[in-house]
Homo-oligomer: A and B are copies of this chain.
């Protein structure tokens, strides 16, 4: 692919598409050169903040016709550099396209612009009887970003991921046209699901401008409980039995004493549970509290056979519960604080294969003398694995990272897993894609990309390299 540099003429023409000069930024600051992880940086030549579909359509068509790279951007909570203008060009910053367009409880849907943050969507629904069910931990992510990475979250075990909660998308393709993919209707057997092709495509096929989500009545009752085990392995090994019990929890998370020690250092607070080295957090919701109690009883019987200690029910308004949740939500920050540099692997394996991954991590920690703390969504087989630089030089750290990432991908592939459960491939992991999924499959994705974006301008060089190795 050949890209052009933005010319003064391009800038003048593009300026004409955007009504408000404050939303046309020709001298971007470092706010726009990174994502949450800051592993890669790239400064856009121009930042455009559209507020209407028409603005997006004009910019996309112009960029495609003039071979100018165009990278959509939400609120930059990504970890894999998907939002960076690696090939130069324009950053299409969607955060001002953030309106609620329709709240339609009768059809159990709500339509918003793609740049609305989850926390604003949640705030809008706070006094209403319905909720948007997926619960990604990054509440300040945009819904458009969630669609583009098919975000997971804490309730995927029972309710599925973002994909299962999207009824309809409005998407601008490189021809500058606005397409409607999906419908407000629940079901479809009416041709290829373009909606599902866009979900998870990391903004490489088109620009999502509007999202119609499914609303679900807010559960009448819900609780969480934390269950300690003597070892993390025992904790993890109890998960398939929980999922086979007949109870469908909303949430099954795991964390070990090692990451909690890091959190204690980070927060200066003590984790309130002293017993055990591995923990499972189980969430339950139901129509009646009696159902929840019966489900919890069942789960506690199941885990007791796996060596579990005394479970602690986390009530929303209890100080200890708040502290435990605070710890869970701050784990990433605590790990990040413990090391000069950090990288991440987000593999998803079949639910009974987490122990295989944890064993390999332990081996790698010893072989490489590297700290690799981890936690994650046990109920989905999705681990968040952190690679700490600690005292290593940049060169040594990068070499170790490459080994760990390669080894974990190799194992995950053998286990019939996926490279990423919810964080995406982005820029940071694209060079592993062909090897993981095979050249034939990756070439097929390249063809799909070429079909929707023939000039290759929309978020180029993400997910997989533009050209195959061979």
- Shortest A214–chain B CB gap in Å is 11
The reply to whether A190 and B420 form a contact with Cβ atoms under 8 Å apart is yes
Could you say which of B161, B185, B216, B415 contacts A417, with CB atoms under 8 Å apart? B185
Query: Which residue on chain B has the smallest CB distance to residue A425?
Result: B190
Give the distance in Å from the alpha carbon of A205 to the alpha carbon of B437 in the complex. 20
A156 within 8 A of B: yes
Could you say which of B200, B286, B380 contacts A193, with CB atoms under 8 Å apart? B200
Give the distance in Å from the alpha carbon of A377 to the alpha carbon of B288 in the complex. 26
The reply to whether A348 and B106 form a contact with Cβ atoms under 8 Å apart is no
Could you say which of B163, B348, B440 contacts A177, with CB atoms under 8 Å apart? B440
| Across-interface contacts of A348 in B (CB, < 8 A) | 183, 185-188
| Across-interface contacts of A440 in B (CB, < 8 A) | 177, 179
The reply to whether A105 and B244 form a contact with Cβ atoms under 8 Å apart is yes
Which one, A45-53, A90-98, A361-369, A442-450, is touching chain B? A442-450
Question: Digit string of A71-103 for contact with B (CB within 8 Å is 1, else 0)?
Answer: 000000000000000000000000000000000
Sort chain A's interface into a size bin.
35 or more
- Shortest A160–chain B CB gap in Å is 7
A336 within 8 A of B: no
The reply to whether A187 and B291 form a contact with Cβ atoms under 8 Å apart is no
Could you say which of B190, B382, B464 contacts A419, with CB atoms under 8 Å apart? B190
A353 within 8 A of B: yes
A152 within 8 A of B: yes
The reply to whether B287 and A421 form a contact with Cβ atoms under 8 Å apart is no
A381 within 8 A of B: yes
A109-B350, A243-B108 known; A187 and B382 CB under 8 Å? yes
Query: Which residue on chain B has the smallest CB distance to residue A295?
Result: B287
The reply to whether A350 and B246 form a contact with Cβ atoms under 8 Å apart is no
A220 within 8 A of B: yes
A201 within 8 A of B: yes
- Shortest A17–chain B CB gap in Å is 21
The reply to whether B191 and A199 form a contact with Cβ atoms under 8 Å apart is no
- Shortest A193–chain B CB gap in Å is 5
Other contacts beyond A150-B188, A188-B421: 20, CB < 8 A:
A108-B243, A108-B351, A109-B350, A156-B186, A160-B160, A160-B164, A161-B187, A179-B444, A180-B441, A183-B418, A185-B349, A186-B348, A187-B348, A187-B380, A189-B423, A190-B419, A191-B464, A193-B196, A218-B246, A291-B291
Offer 9 A-B interface pairs, CB within 8 angstroms, sorted by A.
Answer: A108-B244, A152-B187, A184-B417, A186-B348, A189-B423, A189-B424, A190-B425, A192-B200, A196-B196
